[in-house]
């Protein structure tokens, strides 16, 4: 299965504070997030969330799915008006390699 397959869907599960990657309906990856304390600062509408960890099940590793998950999670964060602290080392490497997400990311 290719990562660019139309069956790869990323959605947000606010009840579990995570983005979920599903292939043909099966959960195969997550990015856990956590709201940073005090992220609603006076005069700012931006919510700051830390992307804590990225996990793709072993059977689906090395297919580019983590990048698909991170890209779509960052796109969602941008659309929500969130700012992201990339605690996860994979997310850190992704944003360095993709500077077009610099407007979404805040320093650790």
Residue 104, domain member (yes or no): no
**Mean pLDDT confidence for 27-37:** 92
Total domains, the chain:
1
Residue 43 is predicted with a pLDDT of 46
Domain-located, residue 77: yes
Is 13 domain-assigned? yes
Dig out the tokens for 100 from the structure: 């077009």
pLDDT of residue 26: 92
Q: Taking the CB of residue 44, how many other CB atoms lie within 10 A of it?
A: 10
Q: Is residue 3 part of a domain?
A: no
Q: What is the pLDDT of residues 51-64, one digit of tens each?
A: 999 999 988 888 88
CA atoms of 80 and 103, how far apart (whole Å): 13
Residue at 84 is within a domain: yes
Q: pLDDT tens, 5-28?
A: 447 899 999 999 999 999 988 999
Q: Residue 12: which domain range?
A: 8-99
Is 89 among the domain residues? yes
Q: Domain for residue 55, yes or no?
A: yes
Q: In CATH, what number is assigned to the domain containing residue 34? A: 3.40.630.30
Give the confidence band of 83 by pLDDT, cuts at 50, 70, 90.
Answer: very high
Helix 89-97 × helix 65-80 angle, to 10°: 80
Q: Which helix (H) or strand (E) holds 75?
A: helix 65-80
Q: How confident is the model at residue 36 (pLDDT cuts 50, 70, 90)?
A: confident
Domain presence at residue 1: no
C-alpha closest to that of 90 among 65, 41, 10, 37: 65
């Amino acid at each position: 299965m290719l990562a660019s397959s139309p069956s790869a869907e990323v959605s947000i599960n606010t009840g579990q504070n995570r983005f979920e990657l599903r292939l043909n309906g099966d959960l195969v990856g997550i990015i856990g997030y956590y709201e940073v304390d005090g992220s609603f600062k006076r005069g700012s509408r931006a919510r700051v969330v830390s992307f804590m960890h990225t996990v793709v099940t072993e059977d689906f590793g090395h297919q580019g799915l983590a990048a698909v998950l991170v890209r779509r999670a960052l796109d969602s964060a941008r659309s929500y008006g969130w700012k992201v602290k990339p605690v996860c080392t994979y997310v850190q490497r992704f944003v360095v390699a993709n500077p077009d997400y610099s407007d979404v990311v805040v320093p650790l």
